[in-house]
Structure 1
């Protein structure tokens, strides 16, 4: 069906990182005299504009379970005229133009001409490494590697690198949702020694189409040893008295 009243609001282009997800924000309109009996949303992928014959690929169809996968998901509600699409686990092959089609029942169906260009960049996000306490020689310290993602379908794996000399204890990776963010964490516990001074520990995040590393440089505080020394007797000059014993306290560094 053609005519006025069919309109769509899409960005001209947007960029997502390889391995992560991207949301294509989309709002569509249809003529006021159309009374929908169904809401079927279809997304197409095309390599160039205008598309050549046969180059329009259907990647999502809300009425076809074969084309409803975890890779492509509607982020909006079609009944509310929200056609936003999520593409998970981006790869180079997702670099393309995307177009939307709505089918409202009977002859009321329309493929919007306006496309959005999705560009896929290299994976740039890095995990962070944190610790709550000071790194004191001889005192166990807990490190936490954290990676954040706004993508529900993110398949991230965290691992520690360059740790064999630290004799560490490594926990199992945890995944939890905090509001709209997915949080991946991995813990490591080790006991610092002065031999670890200025060494580095790395944490790596791996996704299906990308990986990166975060690094922490160790700054170990030397352990202070508090010792008491008793001063010996001493004869005070020009006095006939002998000074009494008194303790003196000294702080010694062990390194």
Structure 2
């Protein structure tokens, strides 16, 4: 009889413990659901450009009015020597990240996207985000792994019809998602021909388009020569080249009226005179 009572009591204790553990698990799950993050598992960036790790986090509503500090760690665990970004104390950041990292967006609105400028191969690896309030803190997992690839981006240069003596606008563009240090766009001309250049920047979402427009008035001596658009960041540069095809302007058609056209090429001057009756007289003058 004593054995039965003890057995029932043990069973009751085990049942209550099981229920308590179940409810505790539900409570922990409910609490953890309030700490959530939306970030990719992997991001690829080109060496010399910037890397952007998109990130949005949520937290318990009772912390809405509290001040907060956002921290990105370049490791799978918390390590003070691996801090890539610290919104409250930049001096605590690792020296190799100093002045190269920043947040895109406002922490108070749940934005935690990390931007790293002038990416190097050494920056490759795991990153995770941590948020600290006055008395609460939370590290978000899984980590985002950053991959660094070779620099391959090139600007785009758009050909235009080029006629001798007629001013044309040649457009060169470069697209990027890096909104930090702007690239420098320059033109390399085939001769000492002066260029009139204008620059502009447009944004569509997270994408930026840098545009440079060069105005030039070609002559026939530019035919077959190259016009190059080059953009440069701090550590990398790239260019695109356009080979000029310069056309001669068409002969004027004036009916029975007189027309005169002088063309210089290979030290040969060709003078074509159309007479009143439509007959053509040619005179060649070798220099």
Please classify the TM superposition score into its range, dividing by the shorter chain length. 0.7 to 0.9
Task: Give me the CA root mean square deviation.
Answer: 3.3
Give the TM-score normalised by the residue count of structure 1: 0.73
What is aligned with 1:224? 250
What is aligned with 1:80? 109
Q: Which has the higher contact order (CA 8 A, sep 6+)?
A: 1
Is 2:151 the partner of 1:126? Answer: no
| Larger CA Rg, structure 1 vs 2 | 2
| Aligned residues of 1:95 and 1:118 also touching (Cα < 8 A) | yes
1:126 is displaced (CA, Å) by: 1.4
1:143 is displaced (CA, Å) by: 2.5
What is aligned with 1:199? 225
1:215 is displaced (CA, Å) by: 1.3
What is the SS of the residue equivalent to 1:19?
A: coil
Which of 143, 153, 177 is 1:150 aligned to? Answer: 177
| Aligned residues of 1:203 and 1:213 also touching (Cα < 8 A) | yes
Distance in 1, Cα, partners of 2:62 & 2:235: 46
What is aligned with 1:170? 195
Kindly provide the CA deviation profile for residues 203-247 of structure 1, in whole angstroms up to 9, marking residues without a partner as x. Answer: 1111113211111122222222236797xxxxxxxxxxxxxx974
Given the superposition, is the C-alpha separation of residues 249 and 187 from structure 1 closer, same or farther in structure 2, using an over 3 Å criterion? farther
Aligned pairs for 1:1-255 (under 5 A) are 4-5=32-33, 6-31=35-60, 37-46=66-75, 50=76, 57-66=82-91, 67=93, 71-106=100-135, 108-130=136-158, 134-161=161-188, 163=189, 165-171=190-196, 174-180=199-205, 181-185=208-212, 187-193=214-220, 195-226=221-252, 247-248=277-278
| Aligned residues of 2:197 and 2:215 also touching (Cα < 8 A) | no
Gaps of 5+ in 1: 231-244, 251-255
What is the SS of the residue equivalent to 1:93?
A: helix
Gaps of 5+ in 2: 1-27, 257-274, 281-287
1:149 is displaced (CA, Å) by: 2.9
Given the superposition, is the C-alpha separation of residues 56 and 173 from structure 1 closer, same or farther in structure 2, using an over 3 Å criterion? farther
